[in-house]
């Protein structure tokens, strides 16, 4: 789960009236419009409004010039619970808000649930012409073509990447800061977007970008938040805009970033948080149809599978429709190439499969993955939810693998290290991660949860939890820096030689530190911003990461297409050492330029000898250098010795 301000929300009670209304309502009350709902539709001649309020007795839409009320229009109830109104004339530049009355109680104003542009802090919607937000060349913007075997995900936060003075950004912490090209550190090395391009990754995972409720946009500041506190799901957060008071600016500037990344050969993934809202009393769901969009306990309180005070109900028809259409909007309007789902197990499997179907119709190469867990048990049938163990029910949807994560680097609580620390008991879990969670006759760890390797996201660190440097310093306080760097390299070696999709957290390649802090969701830049001088100091590590990433492009055998291929081509090498693992990718004609690839990993503190199939091999990596198409010949009588805390790859061509 996302480890942010879990304790800051109390349980929020529904009013007795609202509970009674919801409890007594029939399915017929909640009729669902077949077409998409357009809460605001602008033309220079008129602007039309509609809001879904099937339990409301009345509704109005208010138009504002800044903070001044300019007009109030009574809305008329139509079919499928929709209330409609029209404002004649050119209304562009005004803000709007809906106010509904339910069971005799007038609710607070809201921007609605489908707002596509908002004013400061997202309390009111904004009347804009979306075409005015398109940057030059937007209609021709296209994502690059990326082979599934080459996918590598790089997770980043806007401020982490650009806020430090060493980033050399003109727009630190902003969308435009990440769109900049040519930024350099004081040492003359690429930073920001140029650095990401230089690494060779294919997909950039942007931490939550939809409007969230934890930072006051009206006060320019250096406030920091990961953004897992959603308020308006279909419009960008204003904190990252150069002008949060201009509703069009945040949209235009995010599009500029997407286009810059596409132009640079990168696909863009959004981290989305449809499983809960920043609060209930200030979000559009409760201010339009109280008690409907969330899962509710019998006593009228909010269920809390998210650990953040509420959990949304994807199993309800309008919530499902809402999530799907919001995601479609991000693909169509912002050209987004993939989504990462926070606490995906709060969503039901049916909804996740519908998301895949609908988004693949827009983009056959869409990348979908998420956290296959929840903070606590959601209030729904567990067997119907998108838990990691049921990933095989969701073809085309991937889940993060805590199996390979914990095996390589140890469990969350820091009670013990993992394979890279030389800790025994992690071998089978690592092998399970290497085969990407598919069923394999040589692995005895857990029940398979994937059908194909593309459903397995391999990682050892992300924004949550300690980053690798801090984690390893906690677990191994006596280790030298050189030994810590070896552990980092071996951990990522395990990730990139697994059959899953590799995922890395920004700055790990620079040996970044967050000063030992684990949960930096709202901490200042001191803890989160990347110091780009590290790139010069740890350039050898940067080059090692580049080699790992290039490996995926040079050798498709590390991304086999199916579970059947994994079982056919990947065989493990027997080794008595409890902290050493080896495997062979064999019979690769037609798959890879190599006929056979041997991968050996030694997490112990002593050299280990592996027995490998006899053949004429060449180095891909000896643990330090990379020669992806085959380097020096390896003179071997069928055995290879691997140094402590290192991984090697040999290939027969």
User: What is the band of 7 on the pLDDT scale with cuts at 50, 70, 90?
Assistant: very low
Same structural domain for residues 572 and 550?
A: no
Bridge pairing between strands 95-102 and 267-272: unpaired
Burial-class residue 68 by CB neighbours within 10 Å (0-12, 13-18, 19+): exposed
Q: How does pLDDT run across 422-465, given as a tens digit for each residue?
A: 999 999 999 999 999 999 999 999 899 999 999 999 999 999 99
Can 406 be counted among the known catalytic residues? Answer: no
CATH number at residue 396: 3.20.20.80
Q: Does one domain contain both 187 and 323?
A: yes
DSSP 234-278: EEE-GGGSS-TT-HHHHHHHHHHHHHHHHHTT-EEEEEE-TT--S
How remote is the C-alpha of 566 from its chain's centroid? 26
Stated as kind and residue range, the H or E segment containing 434 is helix 427-434
Residues 63 and 157 in one domain: no
Q: CA-CA distance, 66 to 84, in Å (whole number)? A: 23
Is residue 543 located within the same domain as residue 429?
A: yes
Q: Looking at 229, 337, 371, 622, which residue is catalytic?
A: 371
Distance CA(209)–CA(228), nearest Å, equals 9
Reported confidence tier of residue 312, pLDDT bands at 50, 70, 90: very high
Residue that finishes a domain, picked among 104, 133, 162: 133
Largest CA distance in the chain: 86
In a domain, 315, yes or no: yes
Tell whether 25 is covered by a domain: no
Domain contains 145: no
In a domain, 4, yes or no: no
Asked if residue 503 and residue 408 are part of one domain, the reply reads yes
Tens of pLDDT, residue by residue over 355-387, are: 999 999 999 999 999 999 999 999 999 999 999
For residue 253, the model assigns a pLDDT of 98
**pLDDT band at residue 288 using 50, 70 and 90 as cut-offs:** very high
The answer to whether residue 311 sits within a structural domain is: yes
Examine the domain organization and report whether 199 and 124 are in the same domain: no
Compute the average pLDDT of residues 229-233.
97
Q: Residue 628: CB partners within 8 Å, gap ≥ 6?
A: 547, 550, 551, 554, 555, 620
Pair (516, 415) in one structural domain: yes
- Both 39 and 175 in a single domain? no
Q: What are 30-56's pLDDT values in tens digits?
A: 999 999 999 999 999 999 999 999 999
User: What's the residue count for the chain?
Assistant: 653
Residues 494 and 647 sit within 8 Å (Cβ to Cβ): yes
Distance of CA 502 to the CA centre of its chain: 13
Among residues 502, 531, 554, which one ends one of the domains?
554
Q: At what angle do helices 481-496 and 402-409 cross, to 10 degrees?
A: 150
Residue 21 included in any domain: no
| Least confident segment among 219-223, 248-252, 344-348 | 219-223
- Give the end of a domain, one of 554, 583, 612: 554
Q: What are phi and psi for residue 255, nearest 5 degrees?
A: -60, -40
d(CA 468, CA 423): 17
Could you list the residue range(s) of the whole structural domain that residue 647 is in?
Answer: 568-652
Please check whether residue 13 lies inside any domain of the structure: no
Per-residue tokens: 281: 């009393």
What CATH number does the domain containing 60 carry? Answer: 2.60.40.10
342 in catalytic set: yes
Domain count within the chain: 3
523 in the same domain as 380:
yes
Given a contact cutoff of 8 angstroms between Cβ atoms, the answer to whether 221 and 198 are in contact is no
Residues 258, 357 share a domain: yes
Same domain, 531 and 584: no
Give the per-residue pLDDT at 27. Answer: 55
Backbone angles phi, psi at 35, to 5 degrees: -90, 165
Give the CA radius of gyration of the chain: 26
- Whole-number mean pLDDT of the chain? 94
In a domain, 285, yes or no: no
Alpha carbon 583 to its chain centroid, in Å, reads 30
User: Is residue 585 within 8 Å of residue 569, measured between CB atoms?
Assistant: yes
Question: E-strand spans in 560-638?
Answer: 570-573, 580-585, 596-602, 608-611, 617-621, 633-634
Q: Are residues 322 and 195 in the same domain?
A: yes
């Amino acid at each position: 789960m996302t480890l942010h301000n879990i304790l800051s929300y109390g349980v929020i009670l529904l009013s007795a009236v609202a509970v009674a209304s919801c409890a007594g309502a029939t399915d017929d009350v909640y009729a669902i419009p077949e077409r998409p709902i357009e809460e605001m539709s602008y033309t220079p001649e008129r602007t039309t409004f509609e809001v879904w309020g099937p339990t409301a007795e009345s509704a109005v839409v208010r138009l504002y010039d800044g903070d001044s009320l300019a007009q109030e229009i009574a809305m008329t109830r139509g079919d499928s619970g929709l209330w409609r109104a029209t404002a004649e004339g050119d209304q562009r530049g005004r803000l709007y808000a809906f106010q509904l009355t339910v069971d005799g109680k007038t609710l607070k104003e809201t921007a609605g649930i489908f707002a596509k542009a908002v004013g400061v802090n997202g309390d009111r919607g904004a009347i804009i012409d979306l075409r005015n937000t398109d940057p030059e060349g937007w209609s021709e913007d296209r994502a690059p073509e990326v082979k599934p075997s080459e996918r590598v995900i790089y997770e980043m936060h806007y401020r982490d990447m650009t806020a430090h003075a060493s980033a050399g950004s003109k727009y630190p912490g902003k969308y435009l800061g990440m769109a900049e090209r040519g930024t350099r550190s004081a040492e003359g090395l690429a930073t920001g977007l140029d650095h990401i391009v230089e690494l060779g990754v294919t997909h950039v995972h942007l931490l939550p970008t939809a409007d969230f409720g934890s930072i006051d946009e009206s006060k320019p500041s250096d406030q920091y938040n990961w953004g897992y506190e959603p308020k308006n799901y279909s419009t960008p957060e204003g904190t990252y805009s150069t002008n949060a008071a201009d509703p069009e600016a945040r949209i235009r500037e995010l599009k500029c970033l997407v286009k810059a990344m596409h132009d640079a050969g990168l696909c863009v993934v959004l981290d989305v948080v449809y499983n809960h809202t920043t609060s209930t009393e200030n979000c559009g769901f409760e201010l339009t149809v109280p008690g409907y969009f969330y899962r509710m306990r019998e006593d009228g309180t909010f269920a809390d599978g998210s650990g953040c005070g509420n959990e949304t109900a994807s199993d309800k028809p309008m919530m499902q429709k809402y999530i799907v259409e919001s995601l479609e909007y991000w693909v169509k309007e912002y050209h987004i190439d993939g989504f990462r789902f926070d606490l995906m197990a709060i969503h039901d499997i049916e909804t996740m499969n519908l998301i895949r179907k609908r988004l693949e119709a827009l983009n056959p190469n869409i990348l979908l993955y998420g956290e296959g867990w929840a903070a606590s048990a959601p209030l729904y049938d567990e067997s119907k939810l998108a838990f990691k163990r049921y990933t095989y029910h969701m073809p085309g949807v991937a889940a993060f693998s805590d199996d390979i994560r914990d095996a390589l680097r140890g469990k969350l609580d820091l009670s013990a290290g993992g394979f890279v620390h030389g800790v025994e008991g992690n071998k089978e879990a690592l092998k399970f991660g290497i085969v990407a969670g598919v069923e394999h006759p040589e692995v005895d760890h857990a029940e398979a949860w994937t059908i194909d390797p593309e459903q397995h996201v391999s990682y050892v660190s992300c924004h949550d939890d300690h980053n690798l440097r801090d984690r390893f310093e906690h677990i191994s306080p006596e280790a030298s820096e050189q030994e810590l760097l070896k552990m980092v390299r071996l951990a990522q070696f395990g990730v990139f030689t697994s059959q899953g999709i590799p995922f890395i957290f920004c700055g790990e390649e620079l040996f970044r530190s967050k000063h030992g802090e684990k949960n930096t969701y709202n901490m200042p830049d001191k803890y989160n911003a990347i110091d780009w001088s590290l790139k010069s100091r740890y350039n050898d590590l940067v080059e090692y990461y580049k080699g790992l990433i290039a490996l995926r492009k040079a050798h498709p055998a590390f991304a086999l297409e199916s579970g059947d291929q994994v079982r056919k081509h990947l065989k493990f090498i027997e080794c008595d050492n409890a902290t050493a693992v080896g495997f062979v990718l064999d019979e690769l004609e037609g798959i890879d330029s190599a006929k056979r690839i041997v991968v050996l990993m030694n997490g112990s503190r002593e050299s280990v000898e592996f027995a490998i199939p006899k053949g004429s091999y060449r180095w891909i990596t000896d643990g330090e250098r990379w020669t992806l198409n085959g380097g020096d010949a390896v003179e071997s009588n069928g055995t290879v010795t691997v140094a402590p805390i290192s991984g090697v790859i040999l290939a027969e061509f």
